[in-house]
Amino acid sequence: MKSREPIVYIVDDDAAVRDSLTLMIEQAQIRVRAFENARAFLDAYRPDFFGCILIDVKMPDMDGLQLQEELSQRNIVLPVIFLTGHGDIPMSVRAMKAGAVDFLTKPVIREKLLICVRAAFIEAEKRVEDLVYNQDAIACLAKLTEREREVMILAVEGRSNKEIASYLGISYRTVEIHKSKIMLKTGASNLLDLARIVRAAN
Is 133 domain-assigned? no
pLDDT in tens, 88-109: 667 777 777 777 888 888 888 9
Q: Are residues 34 and 115 in the same domain?
A: yes
Q: Are residues 107 and 161 in the same domain?
A: no
State how far Cα 47 lies from the chain centre: 12
Q: Are residues 51 and 150 in the same domain?
A: no
Give the pLDDT of residue 89: 66
Question: What's the farthest any 2 CA atoms get from each other in the chain?
Answer: 72
Instruction: Tell me the C-alpha distance between 74 and 72, whole Å.
Output: 5
Mean pLDDT over 58-79 rounds to 91
pLDDT in tens, 133-165: 888 889 989 999 999 999 999 999 999 999 999
Is 149 domain-assigned? yes
What type of residue is 150?
Answer: E
Q: For the chain, how many structural domains are there in total?
A: 2
* Last residue within a domain, chosen from 86, 102, 128: 128
Is 94 domain-assigned? yes
Mean pLDDT over 158-181 rounds to 94
Question: Could you list the residue range(s) of the whole structural domain that residue 106 is in?
Answer: 7-128
Give the CATH number for residue 69. Answer: 3.40.50.2300
What predicted TM-score, i.e. pTM, was given to this entire model? 0.74
The C-alpha R_g of the chain, in whole angstroms, comes to 23
Q: Are residues 57 and 94 in the same domain?
A: yes
- Helix residue ranges per DSSP H, 46-171: 64-73, 89-97, 110-141, 146-156, 161-168
Is 72 domain-assigned? yes
Give the pLDDT of residue 1: 43
